[in-house]
Amino acid sequence: MHERTAAQIIADEFLIARAKILELAATLDRLDRADGDIENSKQLVLLSQGMQILCDSESDKAKRVQLLMSRQYEPEWIEKMAIRRRDVEGS
Amino acid sequence: MEYIDPHLHMVSRTTDDYETLARMGCVAISEPAFWAGFDRGSVDSFRDYFRQLTDFEPKRAAQYGISHYTWLCINAKEAENVTLSREVIAMIPEFLDAKNVLGIGEIGLNKNTRNEATIFLEHLDLAVKYNQQILIHTPHLEDKYQGTRMILDMLMGDSRINRSRVLVDHVEEHTIEHVLENGFWAGMTLYPVSKCTPQRAADMIERYGPERLMANSAGDWGPSKPTAIPDLIMEMKKRGHSKELIRRVVYENPKTFFSQSKPFVHG
Ligand SMILES: [Zn+2]
């Protein structure tokens, strides 16, 4: 599979990424200017944790932001919800 | 380039959209049954919807040389009404012999509730009983990860399910691996806002390869873009990917998957 080099990607995408950072920056400024206190807002915490993922040195950033913004999966959900599964093997 | 959109709700699009799709190279569409934007009141309302999907819609598509296939079910949102869902599931076999029906879908979860899971399992029973392929809707945004894992648990907990005949749609960066590594087909849905973009879909193709992977627009009555697949084609061309790779994702893969149910003919 053809893969672009890092130099090609930065050349192709610098302006796009720059514009996205500016959008985020302006959103934060808008929040700053507005009346009201959202210090304890869960959404604000998620945004700032998301931005930390962008700045850390680990890879897999898109997946990690997705997981950060996701409800937890519990492997025991079937028992907890008391779902009656059809007895496939036994029937 | 010729392509297939494996997930597109044409009942909520205009005839002009069919014309645009045809001009862009779309040769076939598969249309899963879904939510109408409001909860329907009776099983007869679904019966009429299934008539539309199996009779009227293929004729509208054919005027533009597009083959129209469909999938039948009661969607996850309305599955909260268990009584109505059971009536719909009991009625679906009336339509399974229609020429353009590929299987049961789009079944899945919405808010990951007990009722949704119960009706999902009853749809699986129906699919197995009638040897039907399955097309799956995974929830959106914060519910996607949990819901996708729950869906995979239910599918993998049933040894009757042939994984190569199941397509799991709306995969994103955090769910694609679970779907592909367990042997299912995966569909990436391209939306104009808030969900997966053509750029991120191209990233997933680069990362996971084209095996059992396809892309769709899931165009419907909400903000959506029925011509999103040509956007993905453009993005991949811009990145220098070969015609063969692009064609594999947007044409060969859906064709291979559909062909397990009905021989694929277009035009
Ligand atoms: Zn859909």
ipTM: 0.93
Whether residues A46 and A89 fall in one domain:
yes
Q: Which residues contact B142 (CB under 8 A, 6 or more apart)?
A: A69, A70, A71
Q: What pLDDT is recorded for position A90?
A: 36
With an 8 Å Cβ cutoff, is A59 touching chain B? no
With an 8 Å Cβ cutoff, is B119 touching chain A? no
Whether residues A26 and A65 fall in one domain:
no
Contacts of B157 in chain A (CB under 8 A): 78, 85, 88
Comparing CB atoms, the residue among A3, A63, A86 nearest residue B173 is A63
Name the pTM for this structure.
0.95
Please calculate the CA angle B133-B32-B52 and round it to the nearest 5 degrees: 115
Whether residues A11 and A29 fall in one domain:
yes
Whether residues A44 and A30 fall in one domain:
no
Average pLDDT, chain B: 96
User: From ligand 1's centre to the CA of B189, what distance in Å?
Assistant: 9
**Total domains, chain A:** 2
Tokens of A67: 């997981």
Q: Which residue of B has its CA nearest to A77?
A: B150
Share of chain B above pLDDT 90, in %: 95
Domain extent, residue A9, equals 1-36
Tokens of A77: 């959900």
Q: What are the sequence ranges of the domains in chain B?
A: 3-258
User: From ligand 1's centre to the CA of B259, what distance in Å?
Assistant: 20
Q: Which residues contact A87 (CB under 8 A, 6 or more apart)?
A: none
Whether residues A7 and A28 fall in one domain:
yes
Whether the pLDDT of residue B262 is over 90: the answer is: no
With an 8 Å Cβ cutoff, is B178 touching chain A? no
Whether residues A28 and A52 fall in one domain:
no
Whether the pLDDT of residue A86 is over 80: the answer is: no
Whether residues A47 and A81 fall in one domain:
yes
User: From ligand 1's centre to the CA of B238, what distance in Å?
Assistant: 28
Whether residues A59 and A30 fall in one domain:
no
Residue keyed to tokens 């594999």: B248
Whether residues A11 and A48 fall in one domain:
no
Q: What pLDDT is recorded for position B191?
A: 85
Q: Is B158 in Cβ contact with A1 (below 8 Å)?
A: no
Report whether B198 contacts B228 (CB < 8 A): yes
Whether residues A76 and A60 fall in one domain:
yes
Whether the pLDDT of residue B195 is over 90: the answer is: no
Q: Is A89 in Cβ contact with B145 (below 8 Å)?
A: no
Choose which CATH entry (3.40.630.10, 2.170.190.11, 3.20.20.140, 3.30.360.10) describes domain B3-258: 3.20.20.140
Whether residues A46 and A59 fall in one domain:
yes
Q: How far is A35 from chain B (nearest CA, A)?
A: 26
Whether residues A32 and A43 fall in one domain:
no
Q: What pLDDT is recorded for position B263?
A: 73
Element of type H or E holding B206: helix B198-208
Q: Is A73 in Cβ contact with B149 (below 8 Å)?
A: yes
Report whether B259 contacts B165 (CB < 8 A): no
